[in-house]
Amino acid sequence: MAARDYYSRGQNLLYNRPVLVIFAVIGVFLVFDILRQLGTGTIVVTDLMSYLWNGLVLGMSLGLAGVGLSMTYSILNFANFAHGDLITSGAFAGWATAFLIAGLGEFSVEALVLIGGPIAVGSNELGINVVNTPLALLAGLLVAAALTAVLSLLLDRIVFKPMRSADGVTLMIASVGVALFLRNFLTFSFLTDSRGLTGGNVPQFTIADVTFGGHQITLVVVAALLMLGTHILLQYTKIGMAMRAMAANKDLAKVTGIPTERVVKLTWIIGGGLTGCAGFLIALQQGTLTVTMGWDLLLLVFAAVILGGVGSIYGAMVGGVILGIASRLALVWIPASFLLVAAFVIMIVMLLVRPSGLFSGRTTA
C-alpha cells in the first residue's frame, strides 16, 4: 500500500510539475558529477572549498545590498534602479572618510578625499587595511551608512514623494533618471579612473590549503551582523512591526493609526544605511573602486532579490547567498567569464520552478 501511495504521488508530481522534476534530475546529475570529478582528481577538495568560500563572500555582498532594494519595493512598490548608484555613493563617501582619517596630518585634505585619483594620495602610501587602520575603516563604514541614508531621504523628498501616488512604472523610470544623475555627479567629482583602496600587508589565513582573506572575513562578519540587526529590528521593535504592517496592507495600516509617511522615511533611512554599508564593504573586499561599481552589481542584486522573492527582505538575504555560492560552484563546469550568465540561469530556473521566489513574495518579513 505504501509503495502504491509513493508511486501515485510521484506520478502526480510528474504530471503536475514536470519542470520541477526535470531540474531535480539535473541537480542530482550535477552533484554526482562533482563527486565523480573529485574521485578522478579532475578537481580537488581544496578547489571546491575555495569556490564555496568565494561564493559565500559574493552572496553576503549581494544579500546585504539587496536588503535596501527589497525594503523599497515592499513599502513603496517600485523597483529602484538608482539603488546601484546609491551603493557607489556610499562607497565613495566612506572611503573618502577612511583616506582622510588615515592620512590626516601627513597629506593635504584635497589629496586624501580624491581617494587615489590622478592627483591624489595612493593607497600604498597610506597602507589602509583592517589591521593597520581599523578606526579609519570603522569611521568610513559609519559615514557611508549615514551619508547614503541622508541621500536616500533627500532623493525621496525631492523626487519620489511628489510622485507617491504614481504607479510603479512611473517611479521606476524616475529612479533611472536619479541613477544617471548620481553616476554623472560621481564621474564629475572623481573621474572614471579605477582607484586602489587598500595597501600594506593585508592579513590572510590559510586553513586546509584554503585562503581566507582578512577583508573577505570582515565583509562576511559585518554583513552577517547587519542582517541579524535587521531581523531584530523587523521582528522585535515597533518600527519593524509598523513596516511589516504597511508592507502587508498600506490602507489598513493608515486606518489603524500607523504613521505611514514616517514609516516611509524610516524605510529610506534604514535601507539607505544598509546600502551604504554594502557599498563600503564590497569596495573593501575588492580593493578597488570605480564610479560604475554599483551599476555593474545592480543586475546581480536584482537577480538575488527576485530569486528570494520580490519584496521579502529575508528572501534577498537568502537569495544572495544561494546565488553567490551556486554561481561560484559553476566554475566546476564553465570558465569564469560566464559567471554572470550562470547567475541568471540559476534565477531563471528558480522562477520556472517557483515563480514567486523562495519566500513566495512575502513582503518585508
Q: What is the pLDDT of residue 151?
A: 95
Does a structural domain hold residue 116? yes
Contact indicator for 288, 195 with CB cutoff of 8 Å: yes
Is 8 contained in some domain?
no
Residue 317 belongs to a domain: no
Residue 12 placed within a domain: no
| 37 in any annotated domain | no
pLDDT recorded at residue 255: 79
Per the CB < 8 A criterion, the answer to whether 139 and 101 are in contact is yes
* Residue 119 pLDDT: 54
* Sites in the chain below the pLDDT cut of 70: 1-23, 116-124, 360-365
The tens digit of pLDDT for each residue in 99-130 reads 888 887 777 777 777 776 555 666 667 778 88
Torsion sign, CA atoms 248, 295, 351, 23:
negative
Task: Give pLDDT, residue 19.
Answer: 58
Tell me whether residue 301 is in a domain: yes
pLDDT at 226: 96
Domain total of the chain: 1
The per-residue DSSP string of 205-257 comes to EEETTEEEEHHHHHHHHHHHHHHHHHHHHHHHSHHHHHHHHHHH-HHHHHHTT
User: Is there a domain that residue 136 lies in?
Assistant: yes
> Could you read off the pLDDT of 202-238 as tens digits, one per residue?
778 888 778 888 899 999 999 999 999 999 998 898 8
What one-letter code names the amino acid at 271? G
Structural domain that includes position 77: 63-204+213-306
Residue spans of alpha helices (H) in the chain: 2-16, 18-40, 45-76, 83-103, 109-113, 123-126, 134-155, 168-190, 214-236, 238-248, 250-255, 260-286, 293-308, 313-329, 339-353
pLDDT, residue 157, reads 92
The pLDDT value recorded for residue 1 is 46
Rg from Cα positions in the chain: 22
Q: Is residue 35 one of the residues assigned to a domain?
A: no
For residue 260, the model assigns a pLDDT of 80
What is the model's pLDDT at position 120?
60
